[in-house]
Structure 1
């Protein structure tokens, strides 16, 4: 369904009945990333809300440059969406950039968050402090800062470089297709430009708040070529509430597509612990 908010209109998949689970995707996905989890969670008695974030997929791409895509803008969209859907308390799940946005949302309304599940991407401080191996894996985040250059490099030769980055993505072709629309690739990249400038990525003196005092599940997959296990394990040091760490064997960065049943089971068991 389409939900009109004050600044943007978002595509939202909402289904099921019961306690609410808010599912947030990352770059360069949309809400269909969660289709396996939606089915499993609905069958287990949960109501799922999976929006396509501003700048991605079929949701609006506002003008105004990178600041229109700052993580705080996404948090504002989600608070408004939850109000429109009459959602009070909820379980919160984020993957990739969705993990960062989920952390921001949980920090704003911790009293409404039953649990916080972070897939692939942990706390920014833990990612930043995870050592040289993580910095090497994060090389593309610096490239994405260069407007025009990054778009040209990714889209050249029918998105050859992006295809290489998405080599393990089961939905690579369907993810790339919406990025062909004018302005779509820039909109998707703007979250990096607004939310992860170089001083945030590498400024070790820049203070980063700890996670809010809510139950946190961190999940990392052994085939992730963008994030180290250390970056997720050390997220536990930033947690002020109960912390649980799990690793998923035999899955790449898009673990909810590679090993959906394993991810479903982890989420359901964690929700049961923190009903």
Structure 2
């Protein structure tokens, strides 16, 4: 692997590459890092592609601005644009998970000239226009229930601070391992993300990668990663120019059927094709939670490499 520090968009971005060929840009979510994509990067590189992953702003070896206003989707998309520019890449396929999926869907919507296809996991497209999910939940009096509101509060930094406990716990409770009666429920504070894992680091996660992430969070804290939640509503407030926009590139969406957010939102394929009319794949993965790329890497890798190699991409 090749590691590079890129100066762009007012910050330093830690970028890692593997392989040669058409570019595939991997975008992680909360609370992850470029290492969470290592299995997919290896598969993509072996199939003849240039796999590129970065630590998003607030994470790992990338800069960590203090101001939440610097974490809106606009800034995050700008970081992806900056990576391509600095590496001299004219276009790339995006692969995103969790908040990285939100950024990837948005980047495809905003810059179809740069991003010619998009493959996302766990989080469907949430495009601007009308009241946001946060506004709807707040109006319904769910501010004390829905987990994202807790993630936005200043005290969340301290609630997450013990990374050796919170990171394995988050991986376990959001996965397909717990019984459904105990698994993470986005609307139930008693089934929150912030519970210790009963088995430590879950077996589906690479121990070396998780321990490296724990060391990074213990060093730098969670303020930066949590700022992505604090910047969500400001983005929707600022993005009215994109109301009614669609993502017209070839796209693929995969998710674990045991993911708490999937259960809560109960979306169907038609909900996605309404804004992604060129959806080429819709893959529910049974028995898997919020981490398909870790919990079911063979399934995800086969789907991803197949999507990249399909005639519709290039």
Same fold (TM over 0.5): yes
1:186 is matched with 223
1:216 is matched with 251
Q: CA deviation at 1:187?
A: 0.6
Task: Considering fraction of residues, name the structure with more helix.
Answer: 1
2:195 is matched with none
2:267 is matched with 231
Q: CA RMSD in A?
A: 3.0
Match of 2:281, SS state, is strand
Q: Does 1:253 align with 2:259?
A: no
Q: Closer, same or farther in 2 for the Cα pair 1:193/1:231, shift >3 Å?
A: farther
Match of 2:152, SS state, is coil
Give the TM-score taking structure 1 as reference length: 0.84
CA distance in 2, matches of 1:160, 1:232: 34
Segments of structure 2 that go 5 or more residues without pairing to the other structure are 176-201
Would you say the 8 A contact 1:218–1:232 is kept in 2? no
CA distance in 2, matches of 1:16, 1:120: 26
Would you say the 8 A contact 1:223–1:249 is kept in 2? yes
Match of 2:248, SS state, is coil
CA distance in 2, matches of 1:187, 1:99: 18
Q: CA deviation at 1:153?
A: 2.3
1:145 is matched with 152
Q: Closer, same or farther in 2 for the Cα pair 1:128/1:217, shift >3 Å?
A: farther
Would you say the 8 A contact 1:122–1:232 is kept in 2? no
1:267 is matched with 304
> Greater shift after overlay, 220-229 or 187-196?
220-229
Q: Structure 1 stretches (4+) deviating beyond 6 angstroms?
A: none
Q: Closer, same or farther in 2 for the Cα pair 1:33/1:193, shift >3 Å?
A: same
Would you say the 8 A contact 2:58–2:225 is kept in 1? yes
- For residues 1-275 of structure 1, the aligned pairs below 5 Å read 1-6=3-8, 7-63=10-66, 65-124=67-126, 128=133, 139-147=146-154, 149-155=155-161, 160=165, 163-167=168-172, 168=175, 170-171=205-206, 172-182=210-220, 184-196=221-233, 208-228=243-263, 230-231=266-267, 233=269, 234-273=271-310, 274-275=313-314
Q: CA deviation at 1:102?
A: 0.7
Q: Describe the superposition over 1:169-207 as per-residue Cα deviations: whole angstroms up to 9, x where unpaired.
A: 62554433321124x31111001101246x959xxx9x8
Q: CA deviation at 1:261?
A: 1.1
Segments of structure 1 that go 5 or more residues without pairing to the other structure are none
